[in-house]
Each structure stands twice: as C-alpha cells, then as structure tokens.
Amino acid sequence: MTAETVAIGIREVSERTGISIDSLRWYEKEGLIPDVERGPDGRRRYSPGLLRWVRTVQALRRTGMPVAEVREFVQAGPETVERQEHRIGLLERQASTIDAQLAQLQEDRAMIQAKLESYRLIIDAGLDCEDPAADRLADEVLARHFPVNGP
C-alpha cells in the first residue's frame, strides 16, 4: 500500500485541518463531504483524495461560501461537462467574492495603518488625545492617505 492510498481516521483529519470532529460529522451529514468510507470496525476512513476534498470544502467555507452553495458544488459532481461548468461557475463567483473581500481588507488595513501613524505622531509630539492639536494632526495624516478630492 502506498502513502497515497493510506486512509486516515476522523481524528487525524481533524488534527490536520483544524476542523472539529463534530464539524466533520456535520459536514458529512449535510452532504458537504460525500462518500466517507467506513472500515470493518465502522469507523470513518478518509482517503488522501477525500482529505483534499475536505480541505476544498474548508476553503470554500472560510471564504464565506454559504453551506447551500457548497452543497450545490458537491452535488454538481464531475460526471458531465455541464456539471463541471456549473462547478466552475460557482468557483468563479466565489473567487470574485474573495477578490472583493481582499480589496476591502486592503482598504481597511490602509485605514488602520493611517490611524496607527497618527497615534504615533501624536505621542511623539507629546500631545494628549483630547488636545485639539492632536485632532488636527490625525486629520492631516488621514487626509494625506485618503484625500477627499483625489485618487
């Protein structure tokens, strides 16, 4: 038996992915992780391919794809070109969602960085946060990074 064909139990899948055992069972019950085989002892056995599938589901969920859409992705199955195209469409929409989230996170990070810069300048200037000069300094920093009439 090669390393690629060795199946692992649910506890190891949980340890490798960070998904709780209860969540893995719930994903299976909800149809998000199909075809989990059972060993002679009745315990779940995950093949390397199924472990990769779990990681795919995990990525879809972490990026905000609703459970219903993940289920739709699973149920689309790979049997026909039309089903593959449907899966591709779901993934493309999710990729677009992620791109929008990333853009928003970049913008939010820039705002946080500007606020940090303004606080450091206020402290370096020996100003109290309640001082009107601190407000002006903070406004200058934010205006430099986020001009109202600029790019």
Same-domain pairing of 7 and 58: yes
Tell me whether residue 89 is in a domain.
Answer: no
Tell me whether residue 79 is in a domain.
Answer: no
> Is pLDDT of 3 > 70?
no
- The whole-number pLDDT of residue 60 equals 96
State the residue range of the domain holding 123.
99-151
Same-domain pairing of 55 and 113: no
Tell me whether residue 71 is in a domain.
Answer: no
pTM for the complete prediction?
Answer: 0.75
Mean pLDDT of 71-84: 85
Q: Which tens digits make up the pLDDT trace of 24-77? A: 999 999 999 988 999 999 999 999 999 999 999 999 999 999 999 999 999 887
Please state, rounded to an integer, the average pLDDT across all residues of the chain: 90
Tell me whether residue 87 is in a domain.
Answer: no
CATH code of the domain covering residue 46: 1.10.1660.10
How many domains does the chain divide into?
Answer: 2
CA distance 83 to 91: 12
> Is pLDDT of 141 > 50?
yes
Tell me whether residue 75 is in a domain.
Answer: no
At CB < 8 A and 24+ separation, what contacts does 24-32 make?
A: 24/54, 27/54, 27/57, 30/67, 30/71, 31/71, 31/74, 31/75, 32/57, 32/67, 32/70, 32/71, 32/74
